[in-house]
Amino acid sequence: MTAPTLPPAQASHVAALHAALTQLDGVILGKGPQIRLAAACLLARGHLLIEDQPGVGKTTLAQALARTCGLHFRRVQFTADLLPADLTGVSVWDAPSSAFRFVEGPVFSELLLADEINRATPRTQGALLEAMEERQVSEGGVTRALPEPFFVIATQNPAAFVGTSPLPEAQLDRFLMTVTLGYPDVRAERQLLETGGRSLSVRELPAVLNAGMLIAMQAEVDAVHVAGPLLDYLQLLARATREHPGLTTGLSPRGLLALLAGARAWAYLHGRGMVLPEDVQAVFAPLATHRLSARAGVSVPDVIERLLRETPIP
């Protein structure tokens, strides 16, 4: 099947997007697939969770993405004593006006980096729930809309690390995708050593995109065509997760909608105006891994690989 190409106006957006990805490839060496998954997550209006140990480039990826996309960036280091108001903001008494004045917290940004999110208490982790799902903050009886676009990148240390609190399932479900950066390959690591990690400073990165372009791209992603047989394939995958004996929970309807949005974004990223089965397969593991629970002795990644191999394409 030949997928329809994008109209010229959208094609120019995709060209700019590819220029942005090329710039990011020069900063985060050897991590092209993860960079493209992060971009797809942003295009699908989702949020990204990066699970890995410190020092592999999680924070650098978030900063470089913000600079390249021309987005207002804020970073919050999550710690055990971080309070919800430290994220969302607080009303303070303004004596000259004899009224309370709301001071916005760092969540009022276009790209928020929640660094080491699982080092904070569940109460503080939960403060992001409304912001991530509803894209608004309620404080003092007043609801305030967050900027558009609004993209959260959260980093998470391995659960075995000291001082971590596991994210509850409801919080995990707010993330469209999870990715792992891992160690660089030999070639990328050698280049890192030869340049001392200064091949291209994040602070020097020019903005290739801007917020207005990204909002237009997100609308174009929503319009990517999905044929009936492709929807059948999505339902077959979801049913396979729900009926697999090694899984205790399968993909929910909300997870299925997330899979559709991620596949649309992946197709758009590759210049196609129609979703193909390979688009679904490309985003299925990053999207489903943190949403599926396995029985003892069962590996979720192994189950996902088997489901993709055995589920028939209509």
Residue boundaries of the structural domains of the chain = 7-81+107-220, 224-313
Q: Are strands 99-104 and 89-94 parallel, antiparallel or unpaired?
A: antiparallel
Which residue spans within 25-110 are E strands per DSSP?
48-51, 73-77, 89-94, 99-104
Two structure tokens written together for 278: 């390979």
CA separation for the pair 14, 269 (Å, rounded): 7
The CA distances from residue 124 to 130, 146, 261, in Å, are 12, 18, 28
pLDDT at 208: 95
Residue 269 phi/psi, 5° resolution? -60, -30
Tens of pLDDT, residues 30-57: 889 999 999 999 999 999 999 877 767 7
Class of domain 7-81+107-220: alpha beta
In this structure, the number of other CB atoms found within 10 A of the CB of residue 282 comes to 21
The CA distances from residue 296 to 161, 170, 248, 292, in Å, are 21, 21, 10, 13
Two structure tokens written together for 290: 């943190």
The CA distances from residue 58 to 10, 55, 251, 295, in Å, are 30, 7, 27, 30
pLDDT at 2: 55
Low-confidence ranges of the chain (pLDDT < 50): 199
- Total-model pTM: 0.90
CA separation for the pair 156, 289 (Å, rounded): 15
Name the CATH superfamily, with its identifier, for domain 224-313.
Magnesium chelatase subunit I, C-Terminal domain (1.10.8.80)
CA separation for the pair 259, 312 (Å, rounded): 17
